[in-house]
């Protein structure tokens, strides 16, 4: 703002004043404080348009020009609500609340005629998405006549903040613009604008930026205002990337959005992002790998939009690139989920990001302003909408075709999921239903002659039970089903931006099968969400209450019991009461040790059962038919642990956030998040358990001795991912060794020394393991794995592992056969040989304490959750065992 005023003054007082001001600029560090015009007239929004004067512009409403300040989320919402009141074209729709309680809203903008028959337009659109119930003539008519549904999503990454500023100008023009282009959009489409997909992250960035911004515009990328602190505003409250959550919907932001998405099912969807400020605008198309199941016209159609954006940029001399980056393979992005739902899912990326501030000097000396970043997104928003309108019928036709069986290229006729409520199956089924997937349940036992299993991909005769679940692929959303369920996706290229497998049965560690022929069994549609049985068994004068540890929500029940100050034990060995066997880990509340609870126990157990979602059984005796009795010393008293989760640099905020979410939100166990810089002075004796997330860089080695002393005195140190590799012999913690790749033989020059320059990054990529499912073998007689099946699909994202040795208690190791080791995704043969038989989950006892090693991520994005029970065990059971 200030420099703009100075610029004006320069014009006013040409002469002496100019030389005085110039001197100020020259003697200062001029390159950092140069005369940056935050409002360069190059970036005026479509000059010459007439606007309805009764409708307030962002500038008039906010009191500043877009690009001169960042706008807090509440003001963005208020602007849109005002727009909704002023314009007949605009309506506002709430769709949920964030973790931090911010209201999520989207806008629908369309012309008067469409507005009057919006319900009918919506219904017609959904009819195209279910070809089973529509005849060809009606479909043709709808394709020809129905307006397109075009959805633009802004600011999913909170610190890529220009797009939420841009959408205010986009909405204003759509609401008030009197020009022909705007009118054509309003007449031919229903525009859905999601102004901010991640308000918690955006406000984290914006409030921080405002607190850090200088009075004199500063374009130095290293200044504090350009240097956002850990964890940054990219992620949501729990430090999750919401642009990876479109399929799994772990978070309320995603769940609300997908519900709205399914009500509308647009023909195009664009996700607005930002990247490093030295990079030029990215627009479609991207690079490989692609989802090869997408219908053939997808490529050309997405290119149409890229070319439309480029035409706008050529006119304004804005720089851009295409094809050199960004794959659309992983279906959890905002740019790829829509594509498996009949839409053209697209991505745009603007240079800027949190280092962009309001203006930043790029490495080639250009001043990139926030105003330009807003302008660029504004330009592509209109170019894209207009291109969609020009191709409306083609897009409607493509949309309709995508849901037909002629575009189903998958080999499976059905995916079969045996009913098992003790794992994450119900989470998966409920997730599918929100995506509009029809889940069926067998009405009788049935046989499948060739049932392929997920463990090794081999087919065998399969016997299934009444009540088992079936997902048929002859339903409209076959593309989504096959993309999320196929054991292995075809990959035409092994270097990827994200993970190489996400197959849901592997991620959730389910027993699962597929059949290429539709099973012959009567089945019924599942019409309600699956919920875990909850309740309390007979409890007249109970001797003890028992919670089977295999239950999905048993750890949460334990946290609730602790919160109510119950003394709880856990069975180190199995027992059988005559009617069934209870697994290791099972929780037992002995009334003889909870005599203060006699009055409240019935209410308490009801409440715990209901709130946690578990079955609690009441036992009249402590004598078991087989296995241990309740008074056994193998019925181990559990202490409610004081837990510290290390956060801040040098930790990876994603893996820290996942541990935080798992314990705080999913398990409802109170934990402390401890800043790493505090560790040196912290009295560790206050804590029973410390969790170290994945590390970026290294842990300060002077802390190793302190940690060692604390462990020897009884602490439980849980080291995950990079921390697990570090807190070994490497740091002098103990004698545990990590697996090292064999060094190339020194004789002669290795052939890789002559790798061509242009191939070097490719050959590095081939050595990586980019998120691949490995077959893990689990010793679930160990408390670390209580309640975990003996086979576990673990997500491998590195080439690290531990060397097994007799003193290290190996709880999980990779399949010893390198050829059976990889279940899905990419890993080179050398890497498979290196890792076969090596340890990924282990416990090393040290003095009175222990170190728990979890080399692989145990709850990646909270959808690869098969291994997550090991963390709950490590925190809740292991300190006592």
Spatial separation of the C-alpha atoms in residues 376 and 382, rounded to whole Å: 10
Binding part of the chain for Zn ion, among 154-162, 277-285, 493-501, 653-661 by CB under 5 A, reads 154-162
157 binds Zn ion (CB under 5 A): yes
Q: Nearest distance from residue 348's CB to Zn ion, in Å?
A: 10
Count of positions on this chain that bind Zn ion (CB under 5 A): 3
Burial of residue 60, with CB atoms counted within 10 A of its CB: 0-12 exposed, 13-18 middle, 19 or more buried? exposed
251 binds Zn ion (CB under 5 A): no
Name 796's Cβ contacts closer than 8 Å, sequence gap at least 6: 769, 771, 772, 773, 774, 827, 835, 856
Closer to Zn ion by Cβ: residue 273 or 400: 273
Q: Nearest distance from residue 35's CB to Zn ion, in Å?
A: 31
Closer to Zn ion by Cβ: residue 226 or 273: 273
Nearest C-alpha neighbor of 820 from the set 833, 810, 806: 833
Binding part of the chain for Zn ion, among 155-163, 207-215, 548-556, 782-790 by CB under 5 A, reads 155-163
Closer to Zn ion by Cβ: residue 157 or 556: 157
Q: Nearest distance from residue 159's CB to Zn ion, in Å?
A: 9
Q: Minimal CB distance to Zn ion: which residue?
A: 273
Closer to Zn ion by Cβ: residue 157 or 202: 157
**CB contact at 8 A, 471 and 432:** yes
Binding part of the chain for Zn ion, among 118-126, 171-179, 267-275, 629-637 by CB under 5 A, reads 267-275
**CB contact at 8 A, 189 and 110:** yes
Binding part of the chain for Zn ion, among 140-148, 158-166, 403-411, 591-599 by CB under 5 A, reads 158-166
Name 415's Cβ contacts closer than 8 Å, sequence gap at least 6: 470, 471, 473, 481, 485, 505, 512, 513, 514
392 binds Zn ion (CB under 5 A): no
Per-residue buried b or exposed e for 715-727, using 16+ beta carbons within 10 Å of the residue's own CB:
bbbbbbbbbbbbb
Closer to Zn ion by Cβ: residue 160 or 721: 160
Binding part of the chain for Zn ion, among 136-144, 149-157, 197-205, 857-865 by CB under 5 A, reads 149-157
Closer to Zn ion by Cβ: residue 334 or 783: 334
Q: Nearest distance from residue 262's CB to Zn ion, in Å?
A: 24
**CB contact at 8 A, 558 and 565:** no
Q: Nearest distance from residue 219's CB to Zn ion, in Å?
A: 22
Q: Nearest distance from residue 160's CB to Zn ion, in Å?
A: 5
Closer to Zn ion by Cβ: residue 241 or 856: 241
H or E segment and range at residue 514: strand 513-515
- Answer positive or negative: Cα dihedral of 408, 412, 417, 423: negative
**CB contact at 8 A, 118 and 125:** no
Binding part of the chain for Zn ion, among 153-161, 631-639, 733-741, 838-846 by CB under 5 A, reads 153-161
Closer to Zn ion by Cβ: residue 372 or 800: 372
Q: Nearest distance from residue 157's CB to Zn ion, in Å?
A: 4
Q: Nearest distance from residue 322's CB to Zn ion, in Å?
A: 17
Q: Nearest distance from residue 507's CB to Zn ion, in Å?
A: 23
Helix boundaries (H) for 195-297 = 199-212, 252-264
Three-state SS annotation for 278-297: CCCEECCCCCCCCCCCCCCC
Closer to Zn ion by Cβ: residue 159 or 728: 159
Backbone angles phi, psi at 465, to 5 degrees: -105, 160
Q: Return the beta strands (E) in 608-657 as ranges.
A: 615-619, 626-627, 635-638, 643-647
Binding part of the chain for Zn ion, among 152-160, 253-261, 465-473, 552-560 by CB under 5 A, reads 152-160
Closer to Zn ion by Cβ: residue 273 or 550: 273
Closer to Zn ion by Cβ: residue 244 or 273: 273
x/- map, 755-794, Zn ion, by CB under 5 A: ----------------------------------------
Q: Nearest distance from residue 273's CB to Zn ion, in Å?
A: 3
Spatial separation of the C-alpha atoms in residues 474 and 131, rounded to whole Å: 11
Helix, strand, coil percentages, rounded to 5, for the chain? 35, 20, 45
x/- map, 269-298, Zn ion, by CB under 5 A: ----x-------------------------
Q: Nearest distance from residue 833's CB to Zn ion, in Å?
A: 37
Residue owning tokens 């994450």: 424
Closer to Zn ion by Cβ: residue 329 or 485: 329
Burial of residue 651, with CB atoms counted within 10 A of its CB: 0-12 exposed, 13-18 middle, 19 or more buried? buried
HSE, CB side, 13 Å, CA atoms: give it for residue 627: 19
Q: Nearest distance from residue 106's CB to Zn ion, in Å?
A: 19
**CB contact at 8 A, 855 and 841:** yes
HSE, CB side, 13 Å, CA atoms: give it for residue 816: 2
Q: Nearest distance from residue 794's CB to Zn ion, in Å?
A: 28
DSSP string, 708-751: HHHHHTT-EEEEEHHHHHHTTGGGTS-S--B--PPPPPSSS--G
Closer to Zn ion by Cβ: residue 98 or 163: 163
Structure tokens at 120: 């009918």
- Residue 578 CA to its chain's centroid (Å): 45
Binding part of the chain for Zn ion, among 265-273, 428-436, 558-566, 634-642 by CB under 5 A, reads 265-273
Structure tokens at 5: 């005023």
Q: Nearest distance from residue 535's CB to Zn ion, in Å?
A: 45
Length of the chain: 881
Binding part of the chain for Zn ion, among 157-165, 203-211, 675-683, 782-790 by CB under 5 A, reads 157-165
Binding part of the chain for Zn ion, among 160-168, 450-458, 627-635, 672-680 by CB under 5 A, reads 160-168
Residue 64 Ramachandran class (φ > 0 left, ψ -120 to 50 alpha, else beta): beta
- Looking at residues 513 to 572 of the shown chain, list those that interact with Zn ion (rule: CB under 5 A): none
Q: Nearest distance from residue 471's CB to Zn ion, in Å?
A: 32
Closer to Zn ion by Cβ: residue 273 or 290: 273
Closer to Zn ion by Cβ: residue 336 or 798: 336
**CB contact at 8 A, 757 and 763:** no
Binding part of the chain for Zn ion, among 213-221, 266-274, 678-686, 752-760 by CB under 5 A, reads 266-274
Closer to Zn ion by Cβ: residue 335 or 503: 335
Q: Nearest distance from residue 123's CB to Zn ion, in Å?
A: 34
Q: Return the beta strands (E) in 343-422 as ranges.
A: 344-352, 359-361, 367-369, 414-417
Three-state SS annotation for 72-125: CHHHHHHHHHHHHHHCCCEEEEEEEECCCCCEEEEEEECCHHHHHCHHHHHHHH
Please give the residue ranges that form the binding site for Zn ion (CB under 5 A).
Answer: 157, 160, 273
């Amino acid at each position: 703002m200030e420099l703009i005023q100075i610029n004006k003054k320069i014009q006013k007082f040409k002469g002496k004043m100019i030389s005085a001001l110039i001197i100020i600029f020259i003697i200062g560090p001029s390159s950092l404080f140069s005369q940056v015009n935050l409002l360069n007239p190059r970036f005026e929004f479509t000059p010459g348009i007439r606007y309805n004067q009764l409708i307030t512009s962002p500038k008039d409403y906010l009191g500043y020009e877009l690009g001169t300040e960042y706008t807090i989320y509440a003001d963005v919402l208020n602007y849109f609500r005002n727009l909704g009141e002023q314009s007949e074209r605009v309506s506002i729709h709430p769709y949920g609340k964030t973790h931090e309680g911010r209201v999520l809203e989207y806008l629908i903008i369309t012309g008067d005629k469409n507005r009057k028959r919006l319900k009918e337009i919506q219904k017609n659109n959904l009819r195209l998405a279910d070809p089973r119930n529509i005849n060809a003539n009606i479909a043709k008519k709808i394709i020809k006549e129905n307006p397109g549904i075009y959805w633009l999503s802004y600011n999913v990454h909170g610190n890529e903040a220009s797009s939420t500023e841009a959408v205010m100008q986009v909405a204003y023009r759509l609401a008030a613009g009197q020009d022909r282009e705007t009118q054509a959009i309003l007449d031919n489409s229903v525009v859905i604008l999601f102004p901010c997909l991640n308000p918690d992250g955006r406000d984290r960035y914006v409030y921080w930026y405002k607190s850090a911004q200088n009075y004199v515009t500063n374009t130095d990328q290293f200044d504090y205002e350009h240097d956002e602190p850990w964890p940054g505003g990219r992620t949501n409250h729990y430090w999750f990337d919401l642009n990876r959550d479109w399929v799994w919907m772990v978070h309320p932001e995603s769940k609300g959005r997908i519900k709205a998405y399914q009500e509308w099912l647009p023909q195009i969807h664009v996700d607005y992002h930002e990247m490093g400020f030295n990079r030029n605008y990215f627009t479609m198309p991207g690079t490989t790998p692609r989802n090869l199941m997408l219908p053939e016209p997808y490529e050309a159609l997405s290119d149409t939009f890229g070319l439309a954006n480029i035409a706008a940029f050529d006119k304004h001399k804005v720089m851009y690139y295409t094809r050199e980056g960004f794959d659309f393979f992983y279906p959890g992005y905002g740019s790829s989920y829509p594509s498996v739902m009949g839409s053209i899912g697209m991505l745009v990326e603007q240079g800027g990001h949190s280092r962009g501030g309001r203006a930043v000097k790029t490495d080639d000396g250009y001043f990139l302003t926030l105003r330009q970043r807003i302008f660029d997104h504004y330009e592509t928003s209109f170019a894209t909408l207009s291109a969609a309108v020009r191709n409306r019928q083609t897009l409607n036709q493509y949309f309709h075709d995508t849901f037909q069986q002629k575009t189903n290229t998958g080999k499976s006729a059905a995916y079969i999921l045996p009913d098992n409520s003790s794992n994450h199956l119900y989470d998966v089924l409920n997730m599918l239903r929100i995506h509009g997937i029809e889940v069926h349940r067998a009405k009788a036992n049935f046989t499948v002659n060739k049932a392929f299993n997920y463990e090794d991909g081999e087919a065998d005769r399969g016997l299934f039970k009444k009540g088992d679940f079936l997902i048929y692929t002859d339903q409209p959303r076959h593309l989504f089903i096959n993309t999320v369920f196929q054991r292995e996706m075809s990959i035409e290229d092994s270097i990827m931006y994200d993970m190489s497998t996400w197959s849901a049965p592997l991620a959730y560690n389910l027993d699962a099968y597929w059949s290429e022929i539709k099973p012959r069994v009567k089945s019924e549609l599942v019409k309600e969400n699956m919920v875990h049985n909850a309740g309390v068994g007979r409890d007249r004068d109970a001797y003890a209450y028992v919670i089977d540890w295999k239950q999905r929500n048993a750890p949460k029940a334990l946290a609730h019991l602790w919160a109510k100050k119950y003394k709880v034990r856990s069975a180190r060995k199995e027992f059988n009461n005559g009617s069934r066997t209870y697994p290791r880990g099972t929780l037992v509340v002995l009334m003889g040790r909870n005599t203060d609870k006699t009055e409240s126990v019935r209410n308490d157990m009801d409440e715990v059962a209901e709130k946690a979602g578990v079955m609690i059984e009441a036992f009249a005796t402590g004598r078991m038919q087989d296995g241990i009795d309740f008074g056994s010393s193998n019925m181990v008293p559990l202490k409610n642990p004081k837990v510290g989760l290390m956060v801040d640099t040098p930790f990876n905020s994603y893996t820290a956030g996942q541990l935080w979410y798992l314990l705080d939100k999913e398990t409802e166990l109170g934990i402390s998040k401890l800043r790493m810089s505090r560790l040196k002075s912290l009295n560790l004796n206050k804590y029973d358990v410390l969790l170290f997330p994945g590390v970026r860089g290294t842990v300060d080695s002077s802390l190793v001795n302190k940690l060692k002393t604390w462990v020897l005195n009884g602490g439980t140190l849980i080291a995950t991912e990079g921390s697990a590799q570090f807190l070994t012999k490497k740091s002098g913690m103990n004698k545990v060794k990590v697996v090292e790749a064999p060094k190339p033989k020194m004789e002669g020059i290795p052939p890789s020394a002559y790798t061509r320059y242009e191939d070097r990054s490719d050959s590095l990529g081939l050595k990586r393991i980019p998120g691949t499912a490995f077959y893990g073998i689990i010793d679930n007689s160990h408390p670390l794995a209580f309640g975990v099946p003996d086979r576990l699909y673990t997500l491998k994202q590195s080439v690290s592992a531990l060397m097994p040795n007799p003193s290290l208690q190996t709880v999980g190791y990779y399949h010893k056969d390198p050829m059976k080791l990889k279940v899905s995704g990419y890993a080179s043969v050398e890497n498979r040989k290196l890792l076969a038989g090596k340890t990924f989950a282990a416990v090393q006892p040290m003095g009175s304490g222990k170190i728990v090693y979890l080399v692989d991520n145990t709850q990646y994005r909270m959808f690869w959750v098969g291994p997550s029970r090991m963390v709950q065990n490590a925190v809740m059971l292991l300190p006592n065992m």
